[in-house]
């Protein structure tokens, strides 16, 4: 199954380290970072989940939360959490889905047979409170992810949902943004961006980030 940006994230029920969940119900009114890891008791995954645990407050500040999945068992997940907490000096407070039959991983196209038919690739889905997929990133099993980039992505999505702007290359929260090309009425531009803007080209207009 191919999942595209704008699609409704498929619903499912699954057992997790924090009890059984129905995905859409669990999302509630939050943003979700739903990501897979190839296997328990592996070094790269241990660092990733440890870092994710340390980002709990950063996720909460954005109205977001993490959900993790692998094809290993619930018992393995629970034992592995002890290793993560010990080696990464943190507390894991997000659910990890047990998916030994690969049903959820298959639903979300996390099994790429040409990479490895037995484990999931490092897939990331950013899902909004309307249960829509807003972004997806796929890494090979060997490469650890950059979760600071995922936070940056959420910041951009939330900002551009609420203002008629886009974020330029390497944008960080607080940097100047770009007025969307579809906005052409001068009066509306003046009203929306009272601090003014710099037009490098008619289609490339920089302005201060709204709210900053």
Name the residues annotated as catalytic. 45
Partner residues linked to 165 by β-bridges: 179
Tokens found for residue 192: 């929306």
Burial class (CB in 10 A: 0-12, 13-18, 19+), 119: buried
In 33-45, which positions are buried (b, 16+ CB within 10 angstroms) versus exposed (e)? bbbbbbbbebebb
For tokens 């038919």, what's the residue? 117
Task: Assess contact for 203 and 168: CB atoms under 8 A.
Answer: no
Written as six digits, the tokens of 210 are 């709204």
3-state SS of the chain: helix, strand, coil percent to 5? Answer: 30, 25, 45
Which residue in 10, 37, 6, 39 sits closest to 24, CA to CA? 10
Residue 111, CA distances (Å) to 12, 104, 132, 205 in order: 17, 10, 21, 42
């Amino acid at each position: 199954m191919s999942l595209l940006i704008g699609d409704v994230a498929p619903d499912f029920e699954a057992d997790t380290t924090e009890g059984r969940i129905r995905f859409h119900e669990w999302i509630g009114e939050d943003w979700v970072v739903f990501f897979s890891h190839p296997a328990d008791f592996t070094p790269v995954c241990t660092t990733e989940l440890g870092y994710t645990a340390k980002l709990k407050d950063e996720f909460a500040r954005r109205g977001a939360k993490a959900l993790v999945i692998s094809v290993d068992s619930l018992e393995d997940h629970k034992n592995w959490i002890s290793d993560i907490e010990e080696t990464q000096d943190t507390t894991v407070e997000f659910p990890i889905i047990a998916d030994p039959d690969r049903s959820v991983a298959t639903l979300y196209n996390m099994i790429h047979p040409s990479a490895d038919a037995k484990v999931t690739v490092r897939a990331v889905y950013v899902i909004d409170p309307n249960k829509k997929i807003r972004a997806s990133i796929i890494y090979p099993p060997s490469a650890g992810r950059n979760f600071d980039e995922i936070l940056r992505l959420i910041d951009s999505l939330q900002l551009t949902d609420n203002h008629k702007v886009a974020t330029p290359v390497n944008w960080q929260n607080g940097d100047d943004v770009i007025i969307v090309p579809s906005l052409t009425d001068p009066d509306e531009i003046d009203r929306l961006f009272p601090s003014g803007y710099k037009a490098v080209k008619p289609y490339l207009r920089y302005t201060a980030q709204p709210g900053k």
